[in-house]
């Protein structure tokens, strides 16, 4: 009994058909990547239209994506293109993180300066209020003294002699 089991594994398709099916599958994946990149480009164009503060970063990312897409189409190296895009994207995100950290440090320094100025101003104001309170107390003391003298003089004037 000699059975040819290899004939059962190819599904009745010729080698050429199987190769073309593989090419079609690869072409479909590349088309999927292409449409995903177009979606990313559209989103980046929307952000550009809104003119966020990150516009220069996104312009750079968009140009790099377009360049990467052109490289992928000419070379046919989809997997290495995605890896390179991932690396470049991570580098861009790291740049943004660094800028945010620098801005945060700068803001903390500015806040510290404002706190120092406010503390100094409040101390000066507190000293002025203290001096004003002392002056008011002195004036009130003098008013009481003069009121007593006036009452004494009035009582002496009213007395019959």
Q: Is 49 helix (H, G, I), strand (E, B) or coil?
A: helix
Q: Is the dihedral of CA 105, 108, 114, 117 positive or negative?
A: negative
Give the Cα separation of 27 and 29 in Å (integer): 5
Distance, CA of 59 to CA of 36 (rounded, Å): 18
Tell me: the pLDDT tens digits for 29-75? 888 888 888 888 888 777 666 655 556 776 788 888 888 888 777 76
**Could you tell me the two tokens for 116?**
């120092």
- Write out pLDDT tens, residues 74-128: 765 556 667 777 888 888 888 888 999 998 999 998 889 899 988 999 999 999 9
Cα-only R_g, the chain:
43
pLDDT of residue 5 exceeding 70: no
Q: How far apart are the first and last CA of the chain?
A: 161
Q: What three-state secondary structure class fits 64?
A: helix
- Separation of alpha carbons 121 and 118, rounded Å: 5
Q: What's the pLDDT at 23?
A: 82
């Amino acid at each position: 009994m000699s059975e040819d089991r290899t004939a059962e594994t190819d599904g009745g398709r010729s080698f050429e058909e199987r190769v073309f099916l593989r090419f079609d599958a690869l072409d479909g994946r590349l088309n999927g990547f292409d449409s995903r990149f177009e979606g990313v480009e559209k989103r980046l164009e929307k952000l550009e239209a809104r003119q966020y503060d990150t516009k220069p970063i996104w312009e750079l990312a968009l140009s790099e994506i377009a360049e990467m897409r052109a490289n992928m189409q000419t070379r046919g190296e989809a997997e290495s293109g995605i890896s390179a895009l991932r690396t470049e994207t991570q580098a861009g995100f790291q740049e943004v993180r660094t800028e945010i950290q620098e801005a945060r440090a700068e803001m903390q320094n500015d806040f510290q300066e404002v706190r120092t100025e406010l503390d100094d101003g409040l101390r000066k104001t507190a000293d002025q209020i203290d001096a004003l309170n002392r002056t008011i107390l002195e004036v009130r003391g003098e008013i009481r003294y003069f009121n007593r003298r006036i009452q004494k003089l009035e009582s002496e004037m009213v007395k019959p002699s």
